[in-house]
Amino acid sequence: MMEKLLDVENVSISFLQYTKGLNQRDLKVITDLTLDISEGEILAVLGSSGSGKSLLAHAIFGILPENANLNGKIKYKGKELSQEDKEELSGKEIALIPQSVNFLDPLMKISDQAIGLTKSDEERKEKKLKQREIFDHYNLGEEVDDMYPFQLSGGMARRVLVSTALLSDPKLVVADEPTPGLDEKTVQETLNHFRHMKEDGVGVLLITHDIHAALEVADRIGIFYSGYVIEIAKKEDFSGEGENLLHPYTKSLYKALPANGFELVKGHQPLHGEIPNGCPFYDRCEMRFDRCANERPELLDLGEKKIRCFKYEGLSIEDIYNYDGSNDDLGIKESESVDLENEDSNLTVEEDSPISIDDVAVEGDSSISVDVAVEEDGA
Ligand SMILES: Nc1ncnc2c1ncn2[C@@H]1O[C@H](COP(=O)(O)OP(=O)(O)OP(=O)(O)O)[C@@H](O)[C@H]1O
Ligand code: SF4
Ligand SMILES: [Mg+2]
């Protein structure tokens, strides 16, 4: 039995924001986020740009911006982590592969920053040997040790971040967007690093907006929608007609993949200040019914799968997979399902919403990502 490493329980992250005059509001970016990772498991969290993925990573490491409010529990091996615990474990048992190479100190040689502070010459020698061993493994020659970050190519910088994270033999690695901007060969190389970590029993939280990367390496995939995890599915569920996927948004993401006919879901993902009072997917959901307009569905725990949708309340996973597809079987009358073509938007938009979002951007003809364009509204 693989040991549970990380539990994120009902985590919310918000920022105090000034609206008109001196009025303030608490802008929630992540709401009620629950997920877990065991040894030797890769869990991908798939979310749009700006949806709070890096904030989740930073919350685990205790490096959120000062103006962020964090609620909920983050546990490592069953113990709730205090800020001190996070600082103590960080770079040791748990390691962050940051999204940006800006995390590298521009004025420090690569080897020195990978090794970090040491207490004695002996410890430094030991760490230097280990750093060289890992750097060799990731195809980073000795010349890299004396380079500064600006001298590295994108692929080299990514490998430096991965090897630096592995220097401490972490049990849990959080990788924040490790693939964007990399060529296909480097993407494959990076994904292979995660496969190797998994084989070594490391738990990996892979934070990404790249569906292909997630499907290639993850065991389970958590889908973010408007700052909520709306489904945690097994990788095998993303196959066939997507019939094993539960949430209508996850199904539509799967259908939007080029191999599945490019059926893009209408509308866009409300974020932050725009989120409706009820289910965050209400405005786009063909299965919605009255209750969905005013009540937020909880994340239902179906064992290895989790789903946030009223449709599945009170059902076991067996009930769900035996269900024959008609709305009646799930307690929703056909007459209550919605023809979105003829519906006006029922979105409740809060005042002074600072951003708007475009969802599901298709990149090229072979990859699709959940993406958002963030605009200032000028208010
Ligand atoms: N210091 C801050 N003050 C106020 N709001 C912030 C702050 N930092 C982040 N945010 C808000 O949180 C949102 C999520 O930020 P985050 O960096 O976690 O997104 P992301 O999902 O990692 O995006 P990307 O895919 O572009 O990396 C931002 O869009 C922004 O609205
Ligand atoms: S049926 Fe209701 S709860 Fe489920 S996704 Fe649609 S709007 Fe949300
Ligand atoms: Mg990010």
pLDDT of residue 328: 47
Burial state string for 89-105 with b = 16 or more CB within 10 A and e = fewer than 16? bbbeebbbbbbebebbe
Q: Which of 292, 329, 338, 348 to mutate to test ligand 2, by most ligand atoms within 8 A of the CB atom?
A: 292
- Indicate the pTM of the whole model: 0.85
pLDDT of residue 150: 94
At 197, give phi and psi (nearest 5°).
-60, -45
Distance 132 CA to ligand 2 centre (A): 52
Q: Which of 228, 281, 290, 338 to mutate to test ligand 2, by most ligand atoms within 8 A of the CB atom?
A: 281
In sequence order, what DSSP letters do the residues of 11-50 get, joined into one string? EEEEEEEE-STT-EEEEEEEEEEEEEEETT-EEEEE--TT
Burial label, 312 (beta-carbon count in 10 A; 0-12, 13-18, 19+): buried
- Going by alpha carbons, the residue nearest to atom 23 of ligand 1 is 50
3-class secondary structure, 164: helix
In sequence order, what DSSP letters do the residues of 300-323 get, joined into one string? EEETTEEE--GGGTT--HHHHHH-
3-class secondary structure, 90: strand
pLDDT of residue 255: 86
Give the contacts of 31 (CB within 8 A, at least 6 positions apart).
Answer: 12, 227, 228
Alpha helices in 103-202 (DSSP H): 110-115, 121-137, 154-166, 184-199
- Going by alpha carbons, the residue nearest to atom 18 of ligand 1 is 52
Q: Which of 231, 246, 277, 279 to mutate to test ligand 2, by most ligand atoms within 8 A of the CB atom?
A: 279
How many angstroms separate the CA atoms of 205 and 174, rounded?
5
At 335, give phi and psi (nearest 5°).
-65, -20
Closest of 12, 10, 7 to residue 68, by C-alpha: 12
Placement of tokens 């076991």 in the chain: 316
- Going by alpha carbons, the residue nearest to atom 5 of ligand 2 is 309
* Sequential pLDDT tens for the chain (379 residues): 689 999 999 999 999 877 777 778 788 899 999 999 999 999 999 988 888 899 999 999 999 999 899 999 999 999 999 999 999 999 889 999 998 888 899 999 999 999 988 889 999 999 999 999 999 988 899 999 999 999 998 888 888 998 999 898 899 999 999 887 677 877 888 898 899 999 999 999 999 988 888 999 999 999 999 889 999 999 999 999 898 999 999 998 888 887 776 666 677 777 777 777 899 999 999 899 999 999 999 999 998 899 999 999 988 888 888 765 554 445 444 434 555 554 433 333 233 322 222 334 333 333 344 443 333 333 3
